[in-house]
Amino acid sequence: MSRILFVLMIASGMCMAAGLVTVESTVEGITFALEAAQPEFSTVELKGQTFTSVSMRGAEVLADFRMPRLPVYRAWLEVPVGAEMEVITTEVELDQLPGTATPVEPGVLSAPKSRPYDEFVMELDPAVYDQGQSFPENWVRLTDAGMMRGRRLVLVEVTPLRWNPSRCSFDLLRKAGVRIDYEGGDVQRSFDLAERYRSAYFDRELESMLTNYGTFELDAGFDTPPSPYLIVGDADFVDTAMDEFVSWKESLGFDVTMVDLSVTGSTSEEIKAYIHDAIENWPDPVEFVLLVGDEEYVPACDPTEYSGVTDLYYSALDDGDYLPDAYIGRFSVRTAGETDLMESRVRDYEQNVSGSTSWVQNTCWIASSDNSNVSEGTHNYCIDNYLDPLGYTWDKVYPDTYGSNADDAITSINGGVSMLTFSGHGSETYWHDMSFGQSDFNQLTNDGMFPGVLSHACLTGSFDTGTGWCETWTRTDGRGGLWFWGSDPSTYWDEDDWQEKAEFESFLDTGIEWPMGFLNQGKMAVYESSSSRKQYYFEGYNLMGDPSVDMVVWGETGVADEPSAPRPGPSGLHILAPNPVMASTVVDLRANGESELAVFDIAGRRVATPFQGEVRGRMSVSWDASALSPGVYFLRLTQDDQMTSLKVTVIK
């Protein structure tokens, strides 16, 4: 088995932006070049005390509780399984800067959203603030996050500014080489796991995250098989109301297995064992999992960080961490009728909604009146950076700034919105602040215009008691949402802010367009923060809906305003074709550069080449399948060393 020696080199004399730049990456280690921006200082008041606030262009924030809050540069790595890591800094250029009149502000514990924002917890580490110990002790910190889809993930944090309170000064690591050597470990095993768990969906997400993505890959140009999709549910639901859903997903290229609890067992431990076996031991590891049934019918797992329920551990293998190894969602239903409602909502969306459907352009943003500078600020950041550039419109339902109320939200939603985002106080059965509850929900008339609902609030994702707010939105006939993203326990102001920004960045900027792909990136943003509630957030937020829905982006079809860049699918390429195919049809392609669309039969023989040439963004290609025998075929789109495929069925 040949392997890629993946090396990135920066050109001699190249002007380097502030931050970390990858110089070289191999299976033995990675080297960064660090160039820190000049720190900027200001003052801030916390709990009646004055502190110095430090920022740095291009840097994020290291804000460990009780410790000085300082600029940090971060990167995610894939590291060989079992390897130890050694950090070596070279070519160090160090400057000493004068101190400030006030101490550096500490990292705090943000308040839960059930409480006002200013009820955060602040403490000062006595070793630093009283005894004058310098912080940080080391320039580089490595955090072993664990395994995700067969890959070992490590978070690298470089803090280029050290505060010396006893000397009343700062050390600035202005430039340095940062080398991380992998010692020992099982490189062969790392390649084997990458091959075993290869997934067009997870690889797209990991490619957007990992600085050294490709170092532990097999030879470039792999073919993408159908994505295995496992449905587990109560027999009264899956055996009577899910057949059309299965057929539709199979027509899209998913390899669907559907079982009821008589096959898996009815306890959470039995269900988990079955799903984990499907991920670990089936010939094609499951990528998507859908649970069908209310928690009363299909029990959830027990969280470790709070009292309640979570579906996380059905998708996270028992390998010592809590990162997901499959994308999971739930149809939280009590009847076959509700099951049919939820599955038909997905089919209708994927079959009939496009980037030129008028209501897709609009979005609704509901903010809290309490701490509106955070909730409105987060919404505005997402709108300004991710929606406006793509030509989206938006309704800002802000009680504090605009005096908005539930009637304004009802009007917006009834007019049709593709995404509905809330941030503020919540409960198991309604949104607080502007008091949007059941009576307001009953006034919705948005049948056929179902948005993805993101609820960054306490308790609104609870699905283990009565009919929760998340279930009201997803299993009510004639109104509601396509899916609902919410938390079972209370949430926190800062963590929800980080999560929401990362969700929209991943969806509309990175182009990860299936719900649990971009929602998972929101959780990863909380992980890479200095929050002490990482596992709490991974457990707490759950999806009520299909994790694989191909979410539509406004203007994606080219009928409306085009995005500034093509929306990349898994591996940067995308194929969309009718399925089944009867005769002549049109295939939709997305690529950039010289490309080839070929057709192969089930034995791997090329039977047609509908297109060879240059693709710039999105285009349509005619394919005449009338001469082919009925059966299964694969459309394969190739560009340079990238390849993706789509399974279709030809019928007569």
Domains of the chain: 19-209 (2.60.40.3800), 352-539 (3.40.50.1460), 573-650 (2.60.40.1930)
Contact between 219 and 2 under an 8 Å Cβ cutoff? The reply is: yes
Reported as a single tens digit per residue, the pLDDT across 327-381 is: 999 999 999 999 999 999 999 999 999 888 999 999 999 999 888 999 999 999 9
Cα torsion 233, 236, 237, 239: sign: positive
Nearest one of 495, 513, 530, 511 to 208, comparing CA atoms: 511
Q: How far is 316 from 195, CA to CA, in rounded Å?
A: 19
The one-letter code for the residue type at 116 is: P
Which pLDDT does position 389 carry in this prediction? 93
Q: What is the pLDDT of residue 4?
A: 35
126 CB-contact burial (10 Å; exposed 0-12 / middle 13-18 / buried 19+): exposed
H or E element that contains 43: strand 39-46
d(CA 235, CA 154): 41
Q: Yes or no: say if 462 and 406 are a contact pair by the CB < 8 Å rule.
A: no
228 strand-pairing partners: 255
**Residue-level pLDDT at 587:** 87
pLDDT value at position 558? 33
Q: How far apart are CA 144 and CA 579, in angstroms?
A: 43
Which run of H or E residues covers position 528?
Answer: helix 515-528
Going from the C-alpha of 395 to that of each of 24, 51, 421, 430, 451, the distances in angstroms are 46, 37, 11, 20, 14
Contact 31, 89 (CB under 8 A): no
Whether 202 and 149 have beta carbons less than 8 Å apart is answered as yes
Q: Collapsing DSSP states into helix, strand and coil, what is residue 322?
A: coil
Residue 217 and residue 498: Cα distance in Å, rounded? 30
Phi, psi dihedral angles at 67 (to 5 degrees):
-105, 160
Q: What is the dihedral of CA 610, 612, 615, 620, to 10 degrees?
A: -10
Decide: 99 and 161 in contact? Cβ < 8 Å: no
Rounded (5°) CA angle 619-621-624: 170
The residues with which 75 forms a beta bridge, in sequence order, are 156
Place of tokens 């937020």: 541
Beta bridge partners of 420: 364, 453
Q: How far apart are CA 274 and CA 280, in angstroms?
A: 10
| CA pair distance 512, 643, nearest whole angstrom | 17
Q: What would you report as the CA-atom Rg of the chain, rounded to the nearest whole angstrom?
A: 25
Give the amino acid at 567: R
DSSP state of 450: P
pLDDT at 530: 87
Spatial separation of the C-alpha atoms in residues 450 and 480, rounded to whole Å = 6
Q: Extract the residue ranges of the chain whose pLDDT is less than 50.
A: 1-16, 220-222, 557-571
Going through 47-193 in order, the beta strands assigned E by DSSP cover 49-56, 60-62, 70-78, 81-98, 140-148, 151-158, 161-164, 169-186
H or E stretch including 614?
A: strand 606-624
Q: Residues 162, 166, 168, CA angle at the centre, nearest 5°? A: 65
Cα four-point dihedral sign 527, 531, 536, 537? negative
* Rounded-to-integer distance, Cα 248 and Cα 594, Å: 32
pLDDT value of position 603: 59
The reported pTM is 0.84
Q: Residue 564: its pLDDT value, please?
A: 29
Roughly how many angstroms between the first and final C-alpha of the chain, as a whole number? Answer: 41
Q: C-alpha dihedral over 298, 302, 308, 309, to 10 degrees?
A: -40
Question: Can you tell me whether residue 635 is helix, strand or coil?
Answer: strand
- Nearest to residue 522, comparing CAs of 494, 544, 498, 540? 498
> What is the 8-class DSSP label of residue 104?
B
Q: Using DSSP, state whether 588 is helix, strand or coil.
A: strand
* Distance, CA of 271 to CA of 314 (rounded, Å): 8
**Cα gap 626→629, rounded to integer Å:** 8
| Predicted pLDDT at 602 | 64
Q: How many helices (H) and strands (E) does the chain have?
A: 17, 26
